[in-house]
C-alpha cells in the first residue's frame, strides 16, 4: 500500500513551522501511544506512522528532500552511516577505582600511564561528491607532538633514567582515610606515572615530546557521506612518559554539487524539457555521477514534476557492493520571447485543443462549477 503524505499524516499544511510540526505529532503520539491502547493494532500502526512522519519533517535536511522528491528521497535507505569508531568514553569501573581503590577485591592491574595518554586530534577534510563516489587516497599534513628523538620519549637526558616518585613511592597512586573509606587518587606529583624526571632532556624539557609537522596518507572509502567521522588509531598527540598516543579523527565534508542532490545513497536532479517534448515525447541524455551518460525515454503527455528512476546509478553503500538509485525529475519549461510564427502556432493549437488534451483543467472546472452553483 502506498505511503500517505507525511503532512496529511500529521494533519498540517506544507508551510507548517517546526513548532506546529512538533505540536501536531505530540497530539497524535498521546492519542495513539501503545501504552494507552494496549492490543490495538490500528492505534499502534497510526503511532508508528506519525513517528515516521515526524522523524522526517522535524529534520531540516530530510524535510527539504521530502518536499522536493517525496517518499522517493528515502528509498534504498541503508540506515545511518556513521564514522569508523567514536570518541572513547571513560570506563565507569575506572571512576570507582579512583575513589575507592581496590573496590570489590582484586586489583585491575597496574594502571600507570593511563593519565599520560596523548590528546586526540581533529582534521576536517573537504571532498567532492565525485570523490565520495569513487573513494580516494589523500595525503594530509598537520601539526602534532611526537616522541623526542634525543631522549626516545622518556624525558631524561641521554645516559640518565627517571627516578621513583618520592611522593607515592612509585605506585602512581596515593591513599588517604576518610571515615570508613580508604580513598585512592592519582599521585599529584607524578600524574600517575610513578616516576620523577630529575635530569630533564634539554631538547624537550623533560616532557618526552616535541612539536612536529606530520604528513600521512589516508584512505577515504567510497560512499562516504557528509559528516562521516573516520578514526585513525594512534595518529594523535604522543603520550607523555610512556603513555599511549591519542587518535586522529577525520571529519568529512562532502561539498554540494551543481547538478546532483544526495539523500543517503540516492541521488536526485532536475532536468528541464520543453512543452513540445513533454507533450510529444522524446529521448533525453543525462549525466551520471560516474562521469558517463544515460538515456531516458520521455513518453508523450509527461507532466511537470514526473520522476524517472535509474536503478543502481546512485552512490555506493559504504559496507556493501551495491548502489543506490538516481532519480531524474523533469521540469517543463514554459517558453518565453516567442516570435510571431511560434505565437501563431500556439494560437492555432489553443483553438483546436479539447477537453481530452487537458484532463486536469477539465476536472478543475467541473469542481469549480459545482462550487459556484452552491
Residue 99 and residue 208 share a domain:
yes
Using alpha carbons, select from 315, 103, 349, 351 the residue that is nearest to residue 224.
Answer: 315
Count of structural domains, the chain: 2
Any domain includes 22: yes
CA 217, 222, 228, 231 torsion: positive or negative?
negative
Report the pLDDT value the prediction gives residue 80, as an integer from 0 to 100: 36
Any domain includes 38: yes
Location of C-alpha cell 557528509:
226
Residue 230 and residue 136 share a domain:
yes
Residue 196 grid cell:
620523577
Q: What is the block-wise mean pLDDT of the chain (374 residues), using blocks of 10 residues?
A: 86 90 88 83 89 88 80 56 34 40 42 66 95 95 90 88 87 75 79 84 88 92 93 90 85 95 95 94 95 95 95 92 94 92 90 76 72 64
Any domain includes 303: no
Secondary structure of 96-156 as H, E, C letters: HHHHHCCCCCCCCCCCCCHHHCCCCEEEEEEECHHHHHHCEEEEEEEEEEEECCCCCCCCE
Using alpha carbons, select from 265, 268, 150 the residue that is nearest to residue 209.
Answer: 150
Any domain includes 32: yes
CA–CA gap between residue 271 and residue 332 (Å, rounded)? 9
Residue 122 and residue 49 share a domain:
no
Report the pLDDT value the prediction gives residue 78, as an integer from 0 to 100: 37
Where is the domain boundary, 198, 222, 254?
254
Residue 130 and residue 53 share a domain:
no
Report the pLDDT value the prediction gives residue 84, as an integer from 0 to 100: 31
Using alpha carbons, select from 72, 41, 44 the residue that is nearest to residue 56.
Answer: 72
Any domain includes 336: no
The DSSP secondary-structure symbol of 236 reads S
pTM given for the model: 0.59
- CATH number assigned to the domain comprising residue 5: 1.10.287.110
Residue 147 and residue 44 share a domain:
no
Where is the domain boundary, 210, 228, 254?
254
Residue 3 belongs to what domain range? 1-58
- CATH number assigned to the domain comprising residue 130: 2.60.260.20
Any domain includes 74: no
Residue 145 and residue 41 share a domain:
no
Residue 106 and residue 31 share a domain:
no
CA–CA gap between residue 340 and residue 336 (Å, rounded)? 12
Where is the domain boundary, 254, 285, 308?
254
Report the pLDDT value the prediction gives residue 206, as an integer from 0 to 100: 85
Residue 222 and residue 152 share a domain:
yes
Any domain includes 315: no
Using alpha carbons, list the distances in angstroms from residue 118 to 191, 208, 211.
Answer: 13, 12, 13
Any domain includes 316: no
Amino acid at each position: 500500500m502506498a505511503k500517505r503524505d507525511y503532512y496529511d499524516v500529521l494533519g498540517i499544511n506544507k508551510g507548517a513551522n517546526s513548532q506546529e510540526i512538533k505540536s501536531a505529532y505530540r497530539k497524535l503520539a498521546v492519542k495513539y501511544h501503545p501504552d494507552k491502547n494496549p492490543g490495538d493494532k490500528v492505534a499502534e500502526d497510526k503511532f508508528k506512522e506519525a513517528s515516521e512522519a515526524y522523524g522526517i519533517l522535524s529534520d531540516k535536511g530530510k524535510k527539504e528532500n521530502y518536499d522536493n522528491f517525496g517518499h522517493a528521497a528515502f528509498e534504498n535507505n541503508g540506515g545511518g552511516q556513521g564514522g569508523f569508531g567514536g570518541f572513547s568514553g571513560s570506563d565507569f569501573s575506572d571512576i570507582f577505582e579512583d575513589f575507592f581503590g581496590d573496590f570489590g577485591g582484586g586489583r585491575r592491574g597496574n594502571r600507570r600511564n593511563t593519565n599520560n595518554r596523548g590528546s586526540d586530534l581533529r582534521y576536517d577534510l573537504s571532498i567532492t561528491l565525485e570523490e565520495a563516489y569513487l573513494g580516494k587516497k589523500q595525503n594530509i599534513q598537520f601539526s602534532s607532538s611526537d616522541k623526542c628523538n634525543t631522549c626516545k620519549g622518556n624525558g631524561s637526558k641521554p645516559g640518565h633514567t627517571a627516578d621513583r616518585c618520592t611522593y607515592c613511592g612509585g605506585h602512581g597512586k596515593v591513599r588517604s582515610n576518610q571515615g570508613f573509606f580508604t580513598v585512592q587518587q592519582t599521585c599529584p606529583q607524578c600524574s600517575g606515572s610513578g616516576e620523577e624526571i630529575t635530569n630533564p632532556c634539554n631538547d624537550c624539557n623533560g616532557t618526552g615530546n616535541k612539536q612536529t609537522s606530520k604528513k600521512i596518507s589516508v584512505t577515504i572509502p567510497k560512499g562516504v557521506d557528509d559528516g562521516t567521522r573516520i578514526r585513525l588509531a594512534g595518529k594523535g598527540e604522543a603520550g607523555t612518559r610512556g603513555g599511549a598516543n591519542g587518535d586522529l579523527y577525520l571529519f568529512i565534508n562532502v561539498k554540494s554539487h551543481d547538478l546532483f542532490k544526495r539523500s543517503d545513497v540516492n541521488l536526485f536532479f532536475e532536468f528541464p524539457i520543453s512543452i513540445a517534448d513533454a507533450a510529444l515525447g522524446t529521448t533525453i541524455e543525462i549525466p551520471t555521477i560516474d562521469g558517463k551518460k544515460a538515456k531516458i525515454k520521455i513518453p508523450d503527455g509527461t507532466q511537470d514534476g514526473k520522476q524517472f528512476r535509474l536503478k543502481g546509478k546512485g552512490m555506493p553503500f559504504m559496507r556493501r557492493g551495491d548502489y543506490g538509485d538516481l532519480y531524474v525529475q523533469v521540469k517543463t519549461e514554459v517558453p518565453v520571447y516567442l516570435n510571431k510564427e511560434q505565437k501563431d502556432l500556439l494560437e492555432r493549437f489553443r483553438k483546436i485543443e479539447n477537453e481530452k488534451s487537458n484532463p486536469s483543467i477539465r476536472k478543475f472546472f467541473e469542481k469549480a462549477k459545482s462550487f459556484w452553483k452552491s
